[in-house]
Chain A
Amino acid sequence: MPPLRHISSKQSFIEWVKIILSRHETLGVLIWKDLKVQYGNWFLGILWAIFQPLIYLGAIGLMLHLGGRKHASGEMDPIIFLFSGIIVWNFITNAVNSTIAGIQGNANIISKAFFPRFFLVLAPVFRVVLDFLISFILLISIAVIRHSEISASALWKVPTALILLLMTAIGLSSLAAVAVVVNRHLRHIIPMLMYTGLFIFPVFYMLEHIGNPILHSGYLLNPIAAGMTSVRSIFGTMDSLPISLAIPYFSAFVLLLVGIWAFRRMERTMADRI
């Protein structure tokens, strides 16, 4: 007996997950398509993944230098400090912006073919993980060149930081997807907001420099800030999170759940709205 599919106005979460798993191949195809279209060939792709964060590093470094600001990195090598922040921020920004671009670019497929809509979030996020890993290797290389201290015992924080950032990226990208489907004008505004994140998140300052205690504890909840701190902790003894890392994990998880919840609500009318 072939499998039976049930269609109604409601779909249980388990059914939703089942369909995603059964169509995992399409996720691969969507990632592959994006890579091919965007980079044409893998060499240019890797080059871009290397140069994008380096350009930010140059620009922000220059800005800080011209502003005459003493580096706010504590004991740490300022370039390593800055670059760690940049790659984390860049990962989140690229994930959200690629999701928005993907919804626009795939509008025709969305209304003409069925595939799990959540792939429109997962495909861009997984694709930018590749870029993140490349820039992470670049970060390690810079640290080696500059003879920075690398704490091998802290390397275990890399996969945990990655899980934290993945949950955050998927949650935020889902919310961004919902926002642009509900109101298409937001697709210009959200990328702009993401760039202001460069100042909101501790890319070039330390959490310790935030004087306001309420604001400071707000940052402790922030999984992006925690991701930056995790990456930085590989290169020094800095441990700016007095409270356990569990808190940002918890907020990232909540963000992920809220993102999925909102996406599932939007998903049922997605093809009609696009």
Chain B
Amino acid sequence: MAREGRAGPRRRPVEPFLWLLFSGGGMAAAVLVPVLVLLFGVVFPLAGGPPYDHLRAVAAHPLTRVALLGLAVLAFFHWAHRFRFAVEHGLGLGRLDRLIAPLCYGAALAGSAAAAHVLFLTL
């Protein structure tokens, strides 16, 4: 707390790691999410989804579980990072970074734990 001269996000050594998660999540989401939302969010509800047994087999495959967990963790941290700065810059709440940042990354952490639970303990 002694080096508080220029208080701000750049002072924290964890920041580059958060930018890395943001970039990874941005890329994973860019490539994977639109087709999944198109199929499961729009096409299947209107035209009927895949048979249960097929969908279960695809979802339960180890590679699918790992891929979905990777997507979930990266996408949640992507959201946390972007939402943090969107709120801070867009609404002028930069001085509340010490409150907003832990809330955002904490939510991403909780979401990641929930994803791991669903994909590896429930399924």
Does B associate with A? no
